[in-house]
Structures are given as C-alpha cells and as structure tokens.
Amino acid sequence: MEKRQLGKSGLEVSALGFGCMGLSFGYGPPTDHDDAIALLRATHEKGVTFFDTAEAYGPGHNEELVGEALAPVRDEVVIATKFGFRNGVPTDGLDSRPERIRQVADEALMRLKTDRIDLFYQHRVDPNVLIEDVAGTVKDLIAAGKVKHFGMSEAGPESIRRAHAVQPVAALQSEYSMFWREPEAEILPLLEELGIGFVPFAPLGKGFLTGKMTAGTEFAKDDFRSTVPRFQADALAANQALVDLVTGIASEKACTPAQVALAWLLAQRPWIVPIPGTTKLHRLEENLGGADVELTGDDLARIAEELGRIELRGERYSATHQSLINR
C-alpha cells in the first residue's frame, strides 16, 4: 500500500490505517478474542502499518488485543493510543492531569507489549488542565523514550496552536467524512500551516456512507448510534440524498460506496490518513480497496458541488456523550 507522511513529523504510515475501537467498544458486544487477533494480523499482512487504539476502548482491552496481535511485527507497525478520560471511561469525564498522563503511558506500554508508543494522543481537550501542561508532560515522555510523537483529538484551533508551541503536534485525529465536514472551515488550513497530519476517524460516517442503512435500521442498545440524533429514523431518511450521491459515484467507478468515501478523503490532502475500522475480513478488504479508487479533478468538483446542495440533519452526538465533543 502507498505510504503517507503525517505532516512534517517524519512519521510515515500506510495511506489507510485501521481503527481498532469497534473490536471491543461502541458498536455492540466485543469481537471474539481469537477473531480479533486474526483480523488485526490480516490487516497488517494486507499492507496496513498504522493501528489506532485507546485506553478508553474497553477500557484497556483494546490495547491488549493490539499488543498481542502485533507483537510479532512490532517494528513494522506504528501504534497510536490515547489518554484523557478519567479511569479510561468516557462517561466518567475528562482527566489530563500530568500524573494521569504518565500513569496511562506506563499502563499502555504494558498492555501493548512494547517499549514505546509511536503516537500518543490527548483523547479530548481537558478544560481543567492547561494545554501547555499536557504538551509539556508528553514532551517529557518523549525525552524519556516512552513516546515518539504527540497527537491531539477533536481539539480546536487555539488548543492546537498552544500545544504545538510547547511540543510539536504530529497529528490531529478528528471526525471527518462527507457526513461531517466541519474540519474544512478552520482545521485543515491550520494543520497545513503548522505541518500537522490529519487522521480522520469515522471516515465512513459511522457506517452511514456504506449505503447499508435505511430509515428502518435499528441499532442494539449497546451500539452507541442508538442514542445519536443523526442515526434516528427521521434523520436517516432525510440524509439519504448523501447516500444517493455516493452510491451514484460508486456505480460509475465500478466500486462500492465505502470505497468512494475513503477515496474522497484521501484526495483532500496528501497528509490525510483515514482509519476505517471493521470486525469483518471482507469489509477490511473492501475498505483497503478504497486506496485504489481514483477520483479525477472533475469528479471531486462535481462531488463538492453536490455536497454544497445537501443539507444534513441531526447532531453527531447526543447530550449524554457531551465529553466526546469537548474542545
């Protein structure tokens, strides 16, 4: 697979990474242990070198899966993990105190069966801790050899600038897809200015852009989409115009809607590395095929024009997930 540089950090990864969250958190019951290990190893065998996990995905369980699966090929992959939630549980609130960051780093190193974290993200900005103290703590971890690069997630422009002034930010991870284009206004220009890479999570719109959902789609209670306004029946029906657009392009390109969605992201900037996730091998293979879909300048201009006409309905998080949108 083609490689990409995350900004000016020197961190080189496969053009598509793998988001590991869904193996143990957020989208229903955890994947069987052996199946998860097999999928992670198959992902690497198919050319992916960038794996994204977090203390909060389990908590801890996801890191353990990644550590076990990738231990035999540790020097061939880039592993990213995150700190920032109290007790590693998003609903417990935010916690980026320096002592907590150091604790999370040490525990992650053990769970990941490694001696360094390649990319250590602040999962969400903590308004109770100066961002300079957060960046300074990670800077110390880098000096100690425990961490290689500093990242942020869902951070706003001011927080990014202030952190970057203390310790260069290698990558920002935030939601970005045709289903959520907010980063285009301020974030992408800022990242280009500062030389920071961008790692879009939910690049398939949490499954919406695959074209597999309808107004009648029902989510299990342990699937967090069941509480998200954007995935309620009325919103799914109203937003079908976006699926129609993606499906139409896919038909023309003889590929799938998911592949179009990923190809569109890759075409936005050369330093963008989406991290689609899945629990199924055939979906993994489908997603990776997105890196081979070529969208021409005319294709992109047409998509941009059509996207400008589509008014999407529904918030991307419910009030109960407020900590996930803290800036």
Q: Is residue 121 among the annotated active site residues?
A: no
Q: Which two tokens stand for residue 73?
A: 């090929």
- Omega prior to 229 cis, within 30 of 0: no
Q: What CA–CA distance (Å, rounded) separates 210 from 260?
A: 9
Q: What CA–CA distance (Å, rounded) separates 277 from 271?
A: 19
Closest to 20 in 3D by CA, of 10, 31, 29, 9:
31
Which residue in the list 27, 57, 121, 176 is annotated as catalytic? Answer: 57
Positions marked catalytic: 57
